[in-house]
Amino acid sequence: MMNKITFCAIVTFCAYQILGLPVISDDAEQRAGKFEGDIVLSSEQRMALAGLRNGLSADRYRWPNNTVFYRIISDNFTTEHVGHIHRALDTIGNVSCISFIEADENATAFVRVVGDDVGCFSAVGYQGSVQDLNLAPNGCFRLGTIIHEFLHALGFFHMQSATERDEYVTIVWDNIRRGVERNFQKYNSSFVTGFNVEYDYGSVLHYSATAFSVNGNRTIVPRNENVTIGQRTGMSDGDVTKLNRMYSCDDAASDNVEARG
């Protein structure tokens, strides 16, 4: 019987054929050469590396009023690419209280979506200034990859950096390319939090099993043999729960109900 992830992968493949977008075979999130492959750290975040985990806990990195302003540099993309970015934003907005609003000419703090051919990457959380989110047209246009980068922009780090990750996965250090071992660090909970959600193999923020492999063999081996890691089809239930807890979406919904009453 076809499982949900396999079904989504087939649907994604067909969608790419219809839209005329390239089918992705490599992991462009690893090409950018940033921290953990696709993360741009602020100076404060670099200084706090010893206290990281999966979701950024500092309130100052939350987008004010749960609103993300963005500007797509349309000259970098085709009409189909722009439409796919909007589908990703709609996907996030439809399962949370996050609003995405196009930045006007007076905006000073927003996500600038660019398409340089250097892979995929984003800053983590609200920076209070213009912050680039890069989506290389040839490599970053799986729907889940775009969502992955915007979840970074909303404040999340990678799943396998979680403090408790060794209870759920084994890192095979001998299979990791030399010089990128730091991408597999784990961090304590003093700087970020998992929002009381169990380790999520199915997270769109989890590395694939062969991420940064020197020989094609697995660098991350789940302790549960019946799971798949590294999917880029969409948000897992755990991703949705953590996002809503990070931005207090349940509280916002309650406030709206009380206001209407």
What's the CA gap between 57 and 188, in Å, rounded?
A: 12
What's the CA gap between 165 and 159, in Å, rounded?
A: 8
Known catalytic residue at 102: no
Tell me which DSSP letter residue 176 carries.
B
Amino acid code (one letter) for 108: T
Taking phi over 0 as left and psi of -120 to 50 as alpha, with beta for the rest, 119 belongs to left
What's the CA gap between 10 and 31, in Å, rounded?
A: 25
> Which one is catalytic: 102, 149, 181, 225?
149
In the chain, what is the straight-line distance between the N-terminal and C-terminal CA atoms, in Å? 47
Neighbours of 137 (CB within 10 A): 16
Active site amino acids: 149
